Structure 1
């Protein structure tokens, strides 16, 4: 019938299975009859695999007295069993010494090439160190060529290439990139990260933002310089955008690591509504905001001392003496003659204020007390022809100002030491609390005496 129908094909015979005769796969029948032997090809890439007395074993696992079939010996010569064993953690731990490449004898041509590369490497080391020294000492890169000629005069082999200021700039940029990569690795390795930023001005007058991070790597706390750059504005929004761009450009995934931020008390930093601290709190609600301890100490001192009018007269006296002798060569010469006439060592006046206000004020007060006789002598001598010196001489003879300076010297010494301690890199909150407590006790002792 099928031949009369186009495309018709006979059907396949149905397979009938009986319970008495279950089906057995051909692979299983083959494995039952097959007699496996250890193949020498298994040694390739496996120097630890050994075969003795009809058994296969792992030499490195047996030497380290581990447990398992490959330690006592096995007759399972399947390749899958070998691969399963070499991927175990205990095997990989002890098999490293068997996988180390053997030393290869170098040819004479290779030795010559290595010596040539070593010579070029030594030349670059000298140039990199020279460029690094210039950058660290804030020198111009135009001075780099002079330093290279000095190295040649010292019979140092520096070659004939990379001797201009552009090369120095390239070297410094390379050092900066490598250092930044090292800092980035530490940030990524650390479980917790906190940071601080502050503004500064470069020699062109542009406002720059410096970013430092504090990380914990292998139980060691480190403060690291991360980046410096220019924000769109000094407002909190501009600084916040600059910080986020810095973290993104360095591919720092610190969403869960960021735990702290520290800054001074400026409104654009610590403002509770629109300040940088508020913007960071909005992005990372868990972040802990800290007001810089050294800045808080300075502000506390100024708030406590501003109610004394004599403090303003003391500041006027110290600043006036500093500018009188620092800005006038004639007065400076007369100042030196006054010390010689009194048989005293010349002590130049120090400036009040600066980035570390309390230590600067302490130095200015100490210099004034040590050279008090010479200061008064010179001011009184110059008062006949210099109205400014006459006014400063009246302040220097004012008993209330002198008593205030002597009393402040004892107090400022305690506060200056505390200020320097609070600026230490390795400082923690616990140490700061104990140091502040000790300073308060010392001040109370001074007031009681």
Structure 2
């Protein structure tokens, strides 16, 4: 009986064991074809075969550009070494991941450099527009649609406004045609406008830029994630004239907020323009363009001589000039001069008023009853009756403006009461 019981239990355990999922090579090729239109799977989805079945799945672009995407948020080497999860959902999740999108972007940039083609040629709409001759009337219609999308981007309006504006223009008798009337088309047009402007900037930097410096400062987004904003000041020379420009350059997310992490951010910002090698050259005359300076705030991670970004970059580039942002220095000087006296007392009073009414619904209702009589005493936001916060991570001009407004309102009220 014992032997029968043991044999039956062992048989039950063997039947309960799930077999390993195996995908045939034919199914894998079907996945490549089915997802090609949306995710371009033919260019990156690969597998290792074993007895006509898939052993592991891996991504060719992520494996090729591993050194360029290793700093991406939520980076994982599973699809570089080979994933044993043989499910289509796993393939789609990887196709939508940040690291894969960045690897595909790097691949397109490399291909564009090799063929001297513009990135915009990868766009489906652009391919359709370039596939055949276009008459003058069609060009004018498409130009008007691009103008509308450019206005939406400049005015920071949502893409869903594109269709109502499109309909309004047609009601006014403007010829816009019957195609590309949705918000998705507006998103595509705006993307191509940005790509075109970026390509022009890239060509300017790669062909005419001789000397440049960068400005770098940290900020936080709505998710409280540390970002680095990078601006650039460059000096260009062509056959006709010598000119300079100052403009926004890039936004980078550092993996670590230390000197090495910030240097990686600068390198990643310069890489799409093909000038990231300027951080490694030890000879000032070795190449063009030449990095001659940088400007940051006074944080130790930026200006430290030994372990800061300044010290590490100056050891590689001895000629580089490092400037402490004058706006930050002036701000610190003003704050130090206002740490005592009447200004500090008024600032503390405004801060206490803010916390008093922002955290008490009852007091806020009472304040709403008084606001109608004392509307000129305090400055209120347009959205309600809560006093505006004058302290925190703000420039000194913000604090001074509210203190000045309160002083003027108090003087006017005192004069009125004493008449």
Aligned to 1:185: 203
Shift of 1:325: 7.2
CA distance in 1 between counterparts of 2:136 and 2:204 reads 30
Counterpart for residue 6 of structure 2: none
Which residue among 160, 163, 167 is the counterpart of 2:185?
Answer: 167
Alpha-carbon RMSD across the aligned residues, in angstroms, is 3.4
Matched, 1:318 2:354: no
2:373 is paired with a residue of what secondary structure? helix
State the alpha-carbon separation in 1 of the partners of residues 270 and 310 from structure 2: 17
Residues 228, 254 of structure 2: 8 Å contact kept:
yes
TM-aligned CA deviation for residue 191 of structure 1: 2.1
From 149, 153, 176, the equivalent of 1:158 is 176
Structure 1 residue runs without a partner (length 5+): 1-112, 378-449
Match of 1:196 in 2: 215
2: distance between equivalents of 1:314 and 1:244?
A: 45
Q: 336, 343, 354: which is aligned to 1:303?
A: 336
- State TM-score, norm by structure 1: 0.51
1:292 aligned residue (313, 325, 339)? 325
- Larger-gyration structure (1/2): 1
Task: Give the CA deviation at 1:133.
Answer: 2.6
2:257 aligned with 1:234, yes or no? yes
Is the alpha carbon distance of 1:267 and 1:168 closer, same or farther for their aligned partners in structure 2, counting shifts above 3 Å?
farther
| Structure-2 residue corresponding to 1:123 | 141
Figure out how many residues of one structure are paired with residues of the other and give that number. Answer: 261
Cα pair distance change 1:192/1:369, threshold 3 Å: same
Q: Per the alignment, do residues 261 and 323 of structure 1 end up closer, same or farther by CA in structure 2, a change over 3 Å counting?
A: same
Native 8 Å contact 1:336 1:346 kept in 2 = no
Partner residue of 2:296 out of 250, 260, 263: 263
Instruction: Map 1:268-417 onto structure 2 (within 5 A).
Output: 268-306=301-339, 308=340, 312-321=344-353, 328=364, 331-332=367-368, 334-339=370-375, 348=380, 351-353=389-391, 357-372=395-410
SS of aligned partner of 1:261: strand
Task: Return 5+ residue gaps in structure 2 as ranges.
Answer: 1-131, 285-289, 381-386
Match of 2:231 among 200, 209, 212: 212
Q: How many angstroms apart in 2 are the aligned matches of 1:346 and 1:150? A: 42
- Change beyond 3 A, Cα 1:309–1:206: same
The answer as to whether partners of 2:218 and 2:229 remain within 8 angstroms in 1 is yes
Distance in 1 of aligned mates of 2:153 and 2:220: 17
Counterpart of 1:247 in structure 2 is 270
Summarize the Cα distance change of 1:356–1:202 in structure 2 as closer, same or farther, 3 Å threshold: closer
Question: How has the CA–CA distance of structure 1 residues 267 and 224 changed in structure 2, closer, same or farther, with 3 Å as cutoff?
Answer: same
Q: 1:190–1:234: structure 2 CA closer, same or farther, 3 Å change rule?
A: same
Could you tell me how far apart the structure 2 residues matched to 1:330 and 1:144 are?
44
Aligned mates of 1:375, 1:271 — CA distance in 2:
51
Change (3 A) 1:354 1:132: farther
What are the superposed Cα offsets for residues 9-28 of structure 1, whole Å, 9 maximum, x if unpaired?
Answer: xxxxxxxxxxxxxxxxxxxx
Aligned-pair distance for 1:309?
6.7
**Contact 2:378/2:406 (8 A) holds in 1:** no
Distance in 2 separating the partners of 1:304 and 1:370: 21
Q: Distance in 1 between matches of 2:405 and 2:162?
A: 39
Provide, for residues 89-134 of structure 1, a one-character-per-residue CA deviation record: whole Å limited to 9, x for no partner.
Answer: xxxxxxxxxxxxxxxxxxxxxxxx98x5322222222222322233
State the shift of 1:371 in Å: 0.9
| SS, match of residue 285 in structure 1 | coil
Q: Contact (CA 8 Å) 1:193, 1:213: kept in 2 or not?
A: yes
CA contact (8 A) 1:259 1:287 kept: yes
Instruction: Report how far residue 194 of structure 1 moved.
Output: 0.6
**8 Å contact from structure 1 (residues 263, 292) kept in 2:** yes
Contact 2:212 2:235 in 1 (8 A): yes
